[in-house]
Structure 1
Amino acid sequence: MMTKRRSVHASLMINYALFSVILGIIGFLVYDGMYDARDAYVNRTLPMVEADRLVREDWESIPYETVESFGGYIQVLDQRLNVVFARGKGAGEAQTSYSEEELYALFYEGNRSDYHSLAPFQSSGEEYRLLVTIPDGAVKKESRLVKTTADITDAFTGILLRGLLWFAAAFLFSLWLYGRLTARKFTNPLADVSRGLERIAEGGGGERLRYNASKELMQLRHHFNRMADRLEQAESDKRKLEQERMRLMMDISHDLKTPISTIQGYAEVLQLGMEEDPEQRRKYAGRIHAKSKLIASLVNDLFELTKLESADMPFEPQPGDFAELCRTTAADLYDSFERKGIGFDIRIADKPVKLSYQDDLMRRALSNILANALKYNPPGASVWLELEAMPDGALLTVGDNGPGISENVRHSVFEPFVRGDRARKSDGGSGLGLSIAKSVVERHGGRIWLDPDAEGTVIRIRLFRESINGLDEPRAK
C-alpha cells in the first residue's frame, strides 16, 4: 500500500516555518548573549566615570583613563570653585573656574548633551570637589523602572500582545509570499515534469516541457525533452524495425517458395516414376540439386548476416596488410570475370597498407561486392578495384561501367533482399551480399556507400587505421 506523502510545496512551507523558528531561536540566543556581554561591559566600565568612584586624596592617582577614552576630562575644584587640577581630553580648553550657578546648571534636566558627575572629597584637610565631564553625549544618565504597578503591568502586557500579533501577521504574510514564489519557481515546473512522465508512461508523448525556471530545473527540462526525443525516435525505429522484419519474412518466403516448389515438382515426378527417360531424369535431378544449393546459399547468407548483427559474435581484428587481402581476393575471382568476358582492372600499389581487421570477414565482404559486379554486368563491361592509402586509413573503390542500379533501389541497395535489377528473381542470388558487406564494414568501424554521382555502379569503402571493437559507431565521412 502506497503511503500518503506531502507535496513538495507543503514540505517546503513546513521547512520554511521550521527554518524561521530555528533562526528566531538562534537570533534570540545571540541577542541575549550580546546583551549580557554589553551589560557586563557597561557594569564594568560606567562606574569608572562616576565622580564618587574616582575620588582620591592624591590627585595624581585619580584613574581618569576611562573618562578620557570617552573623550572627557576630570577637574578638581577648590572651595572657591577654581580648577586646581585637570586631566583628560579637552581639559586645557575647559573653564578654569565656576560659580555656584554655573556648576548647578550643568545638572539641570535641560542639559542633555554632556555627561557630568560631581563628588566632594578632602585632601590634606581641605575641602575639594571632583567634576567629571564627558561631552558629545558619549555617556548619558538613564531613568530605570525598578518597581511596577498593576497599570504598568497591564500596559506592558498589551504592548507585548500587540507585538506578537504584528509578528504573527508578518510571519504569515511572508509564509504566503514564500509559498507563491516557491510554487512559481519549483512546484509548477515539477508538476509539469510529473505530467510529462505520466503521458510517457501511458504511451503518449510528443509534447515537450516549455517552462522557464532556475538552472537546475532548466537542466531537468533539457534532459526530459532529450529523453522524450529519444523515446520517440526509439518508437519510430521500433515501428520501422517491425516493418523491416515483416518485409524480411515476406522476402524470405518469396525467395524460398519458388525453388522449393520446383524441388517438390521434380521430386514428385521422379518419385512417381512419371519420367522414364534416364537423360531427362538426370536433368530433373540436376535441377533439384541446383535449387537446393540456392536454398542452402540463402540460408547460409541469412545465418551470416544474423551473426554479424549479433553483439555476441566473436570479433578479433588483427593488424595486417589490407592491400594484400584485396589483391588475393580479387585474384580468386579474376578467372570468373575473364570467362564472362568482363574486363577486370586491379589498381593496388605495391606498398603495404597496414590496418586492423578480421581477415575472414573482410574477405567475405569484398568477395560479395565483386560477385555482385560479376553477376549484374554484361559481357564487354569493365570492372575495377582501386585501393588508396590515406593518412588515417584507406579508401577502397569497386566500380563498373555497366547499366548501374535503378533509381528506385539506390537508397536501399544495402538492405537485405534488395537486388540491383527491377524485378526480383528467385535464381538471381540471395540479395544479402551487400547487406553482409555493409555489416562487416560497420563492424570494423568503417563506412560503405554507393557513389551517387558516378557512372555505372561505384561502391566505396572507408576504413580507419585504429583498432575497432564491435561496439564502435561508424565514423563520419
Structure 2
Amino acid sequence: MGEKVRLTGKEKSELWIEGVVTVILLLMLNFAVLVLLKQVIAMNQNLQNSIWGIKNVLTFGDGEHIWSWRYLFIWLMLLADAIVVYWRLIRRYRQIQMRHVIRELHYIADGHLDHRIRFAVNTDLQKVINSINALVESTVGSMEEERRMEQSKDELITNVSHDIRTPLTSIIGYLGLIEDRQYRSDEELLKYTHVAYLKAKQMKVLTDDLFEYTKVRQTTTPLNTTEFNMVAMLEQLAASFELEAQKKQIAISVSGKPDPLMMEADTEKLGRVFNNLIVNALKYGQGAKHIFLTAERIGSEVVVKVSNDGAQIPNDSLSQLFDRFYRVEESRSQETGGTGLGLAIAQSIVTLHGGYIYADSTPELTSFVMHLPLKVGQPLEKKSAPANPQKEL
C-alpha cells in the first residue's frame, strides 16, 4: 500500500498562503461586484423595479428576510468562492505531489534502482507512478539479464578454453616428440600419432557440440517440421543402439500410446535429443539392465520418456543436469568422452519446439521427461505439467 505525501513545513505554509491570498482576492472581487451591481441598479429604474418585484416575491412577511434576493445572491457567491478556494488548494497540493514524485524519480535516476515510488495519490498521477515503477522494474530486469548473459559468456569461454587446452596440450606434446624424433621404434611412433589422433577427435567433438549448442540457443533457428510417427522413430533409435546396448548387457524396449502416434516436429533435431539421452543412459546409467523409451499422447501434447534402471542421480545434481559443461562426477576429464553439452543441447532443441524437459530420479528409475506439442507453435496445456519438476524450462 502506498503512503500519502508528507508535506514539509514550507509546503504547508505554501498551502496556507495560497488559501489566504485566494480568499482575500475573492472578497475583493465580491465587494467590487456588489458595488458595481448596486450602481447599475440605481442608474436603471426599470431594472430596479424588476429586481424589487423579485424581492417582493422572495420576501416573507413585512421587511427584509434572509431569503430575499440579496441574501440569496450573496450565498451563491460565497458558495462559488468556496469552490474556487477548494480548487486552488487542490491544484497546489497536486503540484506539490508532482514535485515529490519528480524528486523520487531523480533519486532513482542517480543509481538507486532498488528504490520505488510508494505514494498514494490521485488517479491520474498514480497511473504515472505505476508506469515509472514498472519501467524501473523492467530496466533492472534487463540489466540483470545482461549481467547474467555476460557472466554466462565468460563461463562459456573459460570452460571451452579448459576443455580444448587439455587435448591440445597432448597433441602438441606427442607431435613435438615425433618432430624431435624422440621415439625408439615405429610402434612407438604409431602410438604417439594414435594418441594425437584421439585427442584431435575429442577436440572435434567439442567444437561440433559447441557449434550445435550456440545454433539451437538462437530463437530464430528454423525448424524443418514434418509429420511423423513418434513410436516408429523411437523403434528406429532403439535398433541403432542395439549393438552397443548388448555389449553392456542392457535391453532397450519401446512402447507408445496410441500406436501410431502422429505428431509434427523437426525429426532431425529431435533425433539429436534422443541420441544424447540414450548415449547418456548407456554411459552414466551404472548398473542399468534396461532402457525404456515411452511415448504417450495426453491432450494436445506428447510426453516422451527416456528411462533407465541404473544408479540414482543425487537430488542436488538434478537441477544442474542441463547446465552447460556440468558433469555429475564433478570431473572435467574426457575419460567418458562427454563434452558436458549434450543435455544443454537437448534442452534448447525441446525449447525451440515449444516444449520443456526435466529429469526425475528414484532408486528404481531415472527418467528424462519431455513434453512436446503435437504441432509446433501450439501451446501446451498447463494442467499436464508436473506439479514440482526437478528441472523445467
Instruction: Name 2:126's counterpart in structure 1.
Output: 218
User: Matches of 2:57 and 2:352 in 1, distance apart?
Assistant: 91
User: Which AA in structure 1 matches 2:229?
Assistant: D
The correspondence of residues 56-205 of structure 1 with structure 2, limited to 5 A, is 177-184=86-93, 186-205=94-113
User: Matches of 2:139 and 2:131 in 1, distance apart?
Assistant: 12
Instruction: Name 1:163's counterpart in structure 2.
Output: none
SS in 2 for 1:348: strand
User: Matches of 2:228 and 2:100 in 1, distance apart?
Assistant: 57
Q: 1:440 aligned to 2:349?
A: yes
Q: 1:463 aligned to 2:363?
A: no
Q: Tell me the alpha carbon deviations over residues 204-241 of structure 1, each in whole angstroms, 9 at most, x when there is no partner.
A: 21111211123333333333323322333333333333
User: Matches of 2:305 and 2:329 in 1, distance apart?
Assistant: 21
The runs of 4+ residues in structure 1 deviating greater than 6 Å are 173-176, 472-476
Instruction: Name 1:389's counterpart in structure 2.
Output: 297
TM-score, length-normalised on structure 2?
0.71
1:366 positional shift: 1.2
Instruction: Name 1:351's counterpart in structure 2.
Output: 259
Instruction: Name 1:415's counterpart in structure 2.
Output: 323
- Which residue among 248, 264, 285 is the counterpart of 2:193? 285
1:196 positional shift: 4.3
Cα RMSD over matched residues?
Answer: 3.8
**How many residues in Structure 1 have an aligned counterpart in Structure 2?**
326
- Which residue among 341, 356, 373 is the counterpart of 2:281? 373
Q: Tell me the alpha carbon deviations over residues 85-113 of structure 1, each in whole angstroms, 9 at most, x when there is no partner.
A: xxxxxxxxxxxxxxxxxxxxxxxxxxx99
Q: Tell me the alpha carbon deviations over residues 138-162 of structure 1, each in whole angstroms, 9 at most, x when there is no partner.
A: 9xxxxxxxxxxxxxxxxxxxxxxxx
Instruction: Name 2:230's counterpart in structure 1.
Output: 322
The runs of 5 or more residues in structure 2 that have no matched partner are: 1-17, 23-28, 34-43, 59-76, 386-393
User: Matches of 2:106 and 2:364 in 1, distance apart?
Assistant: 54
8 Å CA contact retained: 2:258, 2:297: no
1:442 positional shift: 0.8
- Which residue among 303, 313, 320 is the counterpart of 2:211? 303
- How many percent identity over aligned positions? 23
User: Matches of 2:374 and 2:166 in 1, distance apart?
Assistant: 45
User: Matches of 1:474 and 1:224 in 2, distance apart?
Assistant: 34
1:314 positional shift: 2.1
SS in 1 for 2:241: helix
The correspondence of residues 222-261 of structure 1 with structure 2, limited to 5 A, is 222-261=130-169
1:193 positional shift: 4.2
Q: 1:379–1:211: structure 2 CA closer, same or farther, 3 Å change rule?
A: closer
Q: Tell me the alpha carbon deviations over residues 52-84 of structure 1, each in whole angstroms, 9 at most, x when there is no partner.
A: xxxxxxxxxxxxxxxxxxxxxxxxxxxxxxxxx
SS in 2 for 1:212: coil
Q: 1:319–1:278: structure 2 CA closer, same or farther, 3 Å change rule?
A: same
Q: Tell me the alpha carbon deviations over residues 270-293 of structure 1, each in whole angstroms, 9 at most, x when there is no partner.
A: 111111311222122111111111
Q: Flag the structure with larger Rg.
A: 1
1:382 positional shift: 2.3
- Which residue among 425, 431, 434 is the counterpart of 2:340? 431
Q: 1:401–1:369: structure 2 CA closer, same or farther, 3 Å change rule?
A: same
Instruction: Name 1:144's counterpart in structure 2.
Output: none
User: Which AA in structure 2 matches 1:249?
Assistant: I
User: Which AA in structure 1 matches 2:154?
Assistant: M
8 Å CA contact retained: 2:258, 2:296: no
8 Å CA contact retained: 1:413, 1:419: yes
The runs of 5 or more residues in structure 1 that have no matched partner are: 1-12, 18-23, 29-38, 47-111, 114-135, 139-166
User: Which AA in structure 2 matches 1:425?
Assistant: S
More helix by share: 2
1:326 positional shift: 2.4
User: Matches of 1:366 and 1:200 in 2, distance apart?
Assistant: 49
User: Matches of 1:311 and 1:250 in 2, distance apart?
Assistant: 24
1:200 positional shift: 4.2
SS in 1 for 2:303: strand
8 Å CA contact retained: 1:343, 1:383: yes
User: Matches of 1:473 and 1:346 in 2, distance apart?
Assistant: 24
User: Comparing 399-408 with 297-306, which one deviates more in the overlay?
Assistant: 399-408
Instruction: Name 1:74's counterpart in structure 2.
Output: none
User: Matches of 2:101 and 2:230 in 1, distance apart?
Assistant: 53
User: Which AA in structure 2 matches 1:182?
Assistant: R
